[in-house]
Amino acid sequence: MSDILEKIKTYKLEEVATRKAAVPLTDVEAAAHEAPPTRGFAARLHEASRTGYGLIAEIKKASPSKGLIRADFDPPLLAKAYADGGAACLSVLTDTPSFQGDDSYLTAARSACDLPALRKDFMYDTYQVAEARALHADCILIILASVSDAQAQELEEAAIAWDMDVLLEVHDADELERACNLKSPLMGINNRNLKTFETTLDTTRTLSRLVPPDRTIVCESGLSTPAELADMARYGARSFLIGESLMRQEDVAAATRTLLANPLTAGGM
């Protein structure tokens, strides 16, 4: 595990313990049961990628490596802009120490449009999964580099029990092999090295060949142009998670629309 992930895991486990002490699991589960039905995150992404690209558009205020990304940060307005621009799904950062995120951003963004939403956070405990559903999330993230196989399976089963989808994030061949032992079809290939924070699309070019045909590749990090999306589509990735490059644009809707305007067709692959 990288130093940054180890640091995040340390404070995240402390955070979860504090939350458990403040709000019993039974209360979180009651709120989760009252949440509106899930919107079918994986299904929406799959449908969009059949004829175009399936974009998971990320609402992210800051990051550990880049600091503040967007000062005029309004999750509902950003969610609407992404929806207007043609995104299939949302990803909303809820981690505060490293990303300046907040739980309220997720609920507010999802309620502002009809897109399914991913709770983008570092998941270690099934308590967080129930929290995600209580916050109206339709999907959670499991980072294979940060959890054991037993933890990953436990988190995935909890998500399925709450009718949520799971995005499995991998960074290398070993993590990909582990992820293939799980049920979720969404295979997120992160092009960012979590140890050096360097980003290269070669990660997707290499790992895409190892992804079983029944899984959906979601290419993550380092993407900002239509040419890069077309390049990745040639390697079987027709779904993408993009945040920073869009978050830095003055007109987010127009930038999203431009990015998705001319998808590489299946015949061009």
Q: What per-residue confidence (pLDDT) applies to 66?
A: 85
Non-local CB neighbours of 137 within 8 Å, separated by 6+ positions: 106, 110, 117, 118, 119, 164
Q: What per-residue confidence (pLDDT) applies to 242?
A: 97
Residue 192 pairs with which residues in a beta bridge? 199
* 53 burial via Cβ count (<10 Å: 0-12, 13-18, 19+): buried
pTM of the model: 0.96
What is the Cα–Cα distance from 20 to 16, expressed in whole angstroms? 6
Q: What per-residue confidence (pLDDT) applies to 265?
A: 81
Secondary structure class of 220 (helix, strand, coil)? strand
What is the pLDDT tens value at each position of the chain, 269 positions in all? 567 888 999 999 999 999 999 999 999 999 999 999 999 999 999 999 999 999 999 999 998 888 999 999 999 999 999 999 999 999 999 999 999 999 999 999 999 999 999 999 999 999 999 999 999 999 999 999 999 999 999 999 999 999 999 999 999 999 999 999 999 999 999 999 877 778 999 999 999 999 999 999 999 999 999 999 999 999 999 999 999 999 999 999 999 999 999 999 865 54
Q: What per-residue confidence (pLDDT) applies to 193?
A: 83
Task: Name the residue among 220, 262, 258, 263 with its Cα closest to residue 56.
Answer: 220
Helix (H) or strand (E) holding 161: helix 149-161
Going from N- to C-terminal start, the domains of the chain cover: 4-260
What is the Cα–Cα distance from 183 to 185, expressed in whole angstroms? 6
Q: Is the dihedral of CA 193, 11, 121, 169 positive or negative?
A: positive
C-alpha dihedral (75, 76, 79, 85), degrees to nearest 10: -120
Q: What per-residue confidence (pLDDT) applies to 266?
A: 63
C-alpha dihedral (188, 166, 129, 137), degrees to nearest 10: 100
Strands (E), 31-125: 54-59, 62-63, 67-68, 89-93, 117-120
In this structure, which topology does domain 4-260 adopt according to CATH?
Answer: TIM Barrel (3.20.20)
Task: Name the residue among 212, 139, 208, 152 with its Cα closest to residue 180.
Answer: 212
* 67 burial via Cβ count (<10 Å: 0-12, 13-18, 19+): exposed
What is the Cα–Cα distance from 259 to 149, expressed in whole angstroms? 36
